[in-house]
Structure 1
Amino acid sequence: MTRSRKRPRGVTIIDVAKAAGVSPMTVSRVINGDPGVRDEVRGHVREVIAKLNYTPNLMARSLVTSREIRIGVIFANPSAAFMSELLVGVFEEASTRAAQLFLLRGEQDRPPTPDAIRGLIDQRIAGLLLAPPLGESPVVWDMLREAGLPVAVVGGIAPDAVCVGIDNARAAYDMTRHLIALGHRRIGFVHGNPDQSASLDRLSGFRAAVAEGDGLDVRIVQGDYSYASGLRAGEALLDQADPPTAIFASNDDMAAAVVSVAHRRHLDVPGDLTVAGFDDSTAATTLWPPLTTIRQPVRALATTALQLLIQDIRGGPPAATGQPRLTLLDHHLIERDSAAPPRR
C-alpha cells in the first residue's frame, strides 16, 4: 500500500520573521522597500530571505498597491447605539477610500472564536480595525501578532497599533465637577467593564474630581456598559437608605437604564434625581428627559482610525517601538434636561 505524501508547505513570511527575530510587518517592509527600516535590520532580513529561499506572495503584496484595500472590522460591544455610530463612521470613510470591509462580530463584549478570526484573516485582508473592547483582547491579539497585519484600535490601547480615542479620565472629571458645581453632595457612579482601559480611566477621572470636593458621599457600583447592567446598578443605588441625588453612568445605555428605574419608582428626573451619561449616542436624545452627557465623537473616532490604518497599509507603519501610536480627539460636556441642582 502506497501512502500519499503531503505537499510540503512553502516558506511563509512568518517563517522568515521568526528566523530573523523580527516581526512579520518588518519583513513586509523590507520586501516592499520601505525606507523606515534600519540598514542593519534590512540587511539581516534579506540574508534570511535568501537563506530560506523565500518568495513573496505576489497576491498579498498587490493588496497594498491595488486601488481597493480589504479591511477587516472586528467588533463586539453591548451598546447598540455606540456600535451603530462607529459602523456608520467606518462605512462612510471606506466609501471614500476604495476600501472593502469584512465584518466579524463577537457576542456581547466577547471576542469571536479563533477559527472565526482566522477565517477573516484568510480573506486576504490588508489591515484590521478593532472596535472596543476587542482592541485590548488577549485572544484577538495573540492571533493578530502572528498575522503581522497593520491594526487600528478605537477606544483602547495596544502596542504598535494606531489607537484613536479621547481623554476619558479628563472627560469623567469634567462631568463630575459639573455635578458638584450644581450642588450635589451624594453622587453615585456606575462603573463600566473593568477589563477596559477606558472604563478604568473614567473611574479615575471620577475619583479625582470627588477627591477635590468637601463633604461628598460617593457610591460606586459595577456595570458592564449594557442596558441590563444599568438597570441593576440603578436599583442598587436607589435602594439605599439615603440614595444619591445624582448618578453618573459610564455610558448612555446605562444612564438611560437608570432613568427608567427612576421613572418606575415615580421619581422625577431631574427634580428628584439627576442622571448623566457618557458618549452622546442616540440613546441620549431619544429618551425623556434627554441626557446631560459627555460627547465622545464616535463617528469621528472611527473615521480617523480608518484613515490612519489605510495610511499604514499604503505607506508602511513606523518602526516598532512597543508603544501605542495614540491620537486623542476632543470631548464636550453637553448639558440637557436630565441634570439640575438637588432639591433642598
Structure 2
Amino acid sequence: MDKPKKSVRRKTSGVTIDEVAALAGVSPMTVSRAINHGKVREVTRERVLRAVRELGYTPNLAASSLAAAQHTRIALIYTNPSGAYLRELLVGLLRVAANAAIQLVIHYWDNFDPEAERKAARALAGRVDGVILPPPLCESQVAVNELVMAGIPVVAIASGHLRDDISCVRIDDFHAGKEMAEHLIQHGHRRIGFIRGRNDLSASARRYDGFVSALHDAGLDVDPDLVQPGDYTYRSGLAAAETLLSHRRPPTAIFASNDDMGAAAISVAHRRGLEVPRDLSVVGFDDTSAATTVWPELTTLHQPIASMADAAIDILLRTIRRRSDDARVLTDHVVPHRLVMRDSVASPSKR
C-alpha cells in the first residue's frame, strides 16, 4: 500500500521570509515589498504571492508593518529662502518620520532652471515612494509633471489653492490675510503698507487679495505706493520697509507677508528712530521663530507648519499603501490658522 504523500504546505510557524524568497527567486526585501503593497513589478508580486500560498507563510503583522514603513522613502525637496520657515517644517517632518519609522530623504534644489528641475525630478522618481514640495517648489509645474507622470504621489505644502494634479496641505491664505488687515483697521489704521511675497506663489497673491478685500470692506482705497515687492527674505523686507517709510506720507502700519520681512521692517523702524508700536505698527505672517526673536515681538498669523508636515506625511502614507493604477485620490487638506497678538500693534500715534 502506498504511503500518503506529504503536503507541500508547511506549518505556518515554521516558514520564514527567507524560504519564501528562495522559492520565489527574489530577495527577502522584495518579498516584504510585495506583501506590503510596496513598489515591485506585478509579475514579481504574483510570483511572491504564489510562493506565500504554497508554503502557507503568514507574516508577522507587527514586523511587516514596521518593514513597510522602513521601506517607504519620502523626499522633501526644498529651496526656501526663509530659514525660520524651513526650520519649523523640518522639525515637524523629522518628528513624524521618526514616529512612523519611515525614511525621510532631503534634497536641496538651488535655483534650478526648468530643464534642471525636470532632470532632477526624473532622477528622483525611481528612488522614492512619495514627495513633499514646500514653497516655492509647490508651484513648480515642471517638477510636478515629471513626478506625476512617474506615478509618484506628491503633496504640496502651503500652496495657495486646490490643485487638480496633486494633493495639498494649506491654510486659507485669503481669509488669513483679510483677518490680519481687519485687525489693523480695528486699531484705527487707515494708511497701511503691505510687503508682498514672491510673485510666483499663489499663496502670496491670496494673502494680498485678502488684504485688499479688508480695505475695500472698510471703505479704504489701496494706495499703490504703499504696496512694495518682497520675496520672503529678510533683505527684501529691509528694502521694502525703507521705501515705505521714506514716503512723503508714510504708513502708520506695515503688514509683511511673512515674519522674516516683518522683523526687517521693525529693524528699519528702529534705525529711523521710530518706536514700535507707538509710531509704527508692524505685523507678520506664519508665526515662526523670527516673530519672537525681535523686539517688540511680532503680532502675526499662526500657520501650523509642524501640523501641516504631519498631515502631508499622513496623506502620502495613505496614498502609497492604497495605490492602484485605476484610482488616484487627491486630498485638499485645509488647516485652521490663528491670529497671534503680541506687542507690535497699537493705535496710530496722535502726533
TM-score by length of 1: 0.78
Q: 1:154: how far off?
A: 0.5
Q: 1:210: how far off?
A: 0.2
Q: Which amino acid aligns with 2:341?
A: E
Q: Is the 8 A contact 1:185 1:216 kept in 2?
A: no
Sort the Cα spacing of 1:159 and 1:217 in 2 relative to 1 into closer, same or farther, 3 A: closer
Q: Name the counterpart of 2:299.
A: 292
Sort the Cα spacing of 1:202 and 1:57 in 2 relative to 1 into closer, same or farther, 3 A: farther
Kindly tell me the number of residue pairs found equivalent between the two proteins. Answer: 290
Q: Name the counterpart of 2:118.
A: 114
Q: Is the 8 A contact 2:237 2:261 kept in 1?
A: yes
Q: Name the counterpart of 1:341.
A: 347
Q: Name the counterpart of 1:255.
A: 262
Q: Is the 8 A contact 1:290 1:338 kept in 2?
A: yes
What per-residue deviation string (whole Å, max 9, x for no partner) do you get for residues 153-205 of structure 1?
Answer: 11114323220010110011001001000000110111111211111110110
Q: 1:142: how far off?
A: 2.9
How far apart are the structure 1 equivalents of 2:154 and 2:80?
Answer: 18
Q: 1:55: how far off?
A: 5.8
Q: Which amino acid aligns with 1:253?
A: D
Q: Name the counterpart of 2:249.
A: 242
Q: Is the 8 A contact 2:148 2:165 kept in 1?
A: no
Q: Name the counterpart of 1:176.
A: 181
* SS of aligned partner of 2:76: strand
1:326 to 2:313 alignment: no
For residues 298-313 of structure 1, what are the structure 2 equivalents within 5 Å?
Answer: 298-313=305-320
For residues 103-252 of structure 1, what are the structure 2 equivalents within 5 Å?
Answer: 103-107=106-110, 113-123=117-127, 125-156=128-159, 157-215=162-220, 218=223, 219-252=226-259
More relative contact order, 1 or 2 (CA 8 Å, 6+ apart): 1
How far apart are the structure 2 equivalents of 1:259 and 1:79?
Answer: 17
Q: 1:149: how far off?
A: 0.7
Q: 1:258: how far off?
A: 0.7
What per-residue deviation string (whole Å, max 9, x for no partner) do you get for residues 93-147 of structure 1?
Answer: 1111121011111226978743333333332x11111111111102212321231
Q: Which amino acid aligns with 2:173?
A: N
What per-residue deviation string (whole Å, max 9, x for no partner) do you get for residues 239-289 of structure 1?
Answer: 100000000011001111111111111111111110000000000011111
How far apart are the structure 1 equivalents of 2:173 and 2:220?
Answer: 25
1:280 to 2:287 alignment: yes
Moved over 4 A (4+): 54-58, 61-65, 108-112
User: RMSD over aligned Cα, in angstroms?
Assistant: 2.7
Sort the Cα spacing of 1:155 and 1:217 in 2 relative to 1 into closer, same or farther, 3 A: closer
How far apart are the structure 2 equivalents of 1:176 and 1:67?
Answer: 44
Sort the Cα spacing of 1:142 and 1:296 in 2 relative to 1 into closer, same or farther, 3 A: same
Sort the Cα spacing of 1:110 and 1:154 in 2 relative to 1 into closer, same or farther, 3 A: farther
* SS of aligned partner of 1:185: coil
Q: Is the 8 A contact 1:77 1:109 kept in 2?
A: no
What per-residue deviation string (whole Å, max 9, x for no partner) do you get for residues 27-46 of structure 1?
Answer: xxxx99x9xxxxxxxxxxxx
* SS of aligned partner of 1:153: strand
For residues 14-33 of structure 1, what are the structure 2 equivalents within 5 Å?
Answer: none
Q: Is the 8 A contact 1:78 1:109 kept in 2?
A: no
Larger CA Rg, structure 1 vs 2:
2
Q: Which has the higher strand share?
A: 1
Q: 1:76: how far off?
A: 1.1
Q: 1:213: how far off?
A: 1.4
How far apart are the structure 2 equivalents of 1:98 and 1:160?
Answer: 28
Q: Which amino acid aligns with 1:336?
A: R
How far apart are the structure 2 equivalents of 1:108 and 1:247?
Answer: 29
Q: 1:88: how far off?
A: 0.8
* SS of aligned partner of 1:242: coil
What per-residue deviation string (whole Å, max 9, x for no partner) do you get for residues 50-69 of structure 1?
Answer: xxxx86566xx999983421
Q: Is the 8 A contact 1:254 1:277 kept in 2?
A: yes
Q: Is the 8 A contact 2:77 2:132 kept in 1?
A: yes
* SS of aligned partner of 1:278: coil
Question: Aligned residues: percent identity?
Answer: 43
* SS of aligned partner of 1:73: strand
How far apart are the structure 1 equivalents of 2:147 and 2:129?
Answer: 12
How far apart are the structure 1 equivalents of 2:110 and 2:183?
Answer: 35
How far apart are the structure 1 equivalents of 2:79 and 2:112?
Answer: 5
Q: Structure 1: state its 5+ residue gaps.
A: 1-30, 35-53
Q: Structure 2: state its 5+ residue gaps.
A: 1-33, 50-63
How far apart are the structure 1 equivalents of 2:230 and 2:185?
Answer: 22
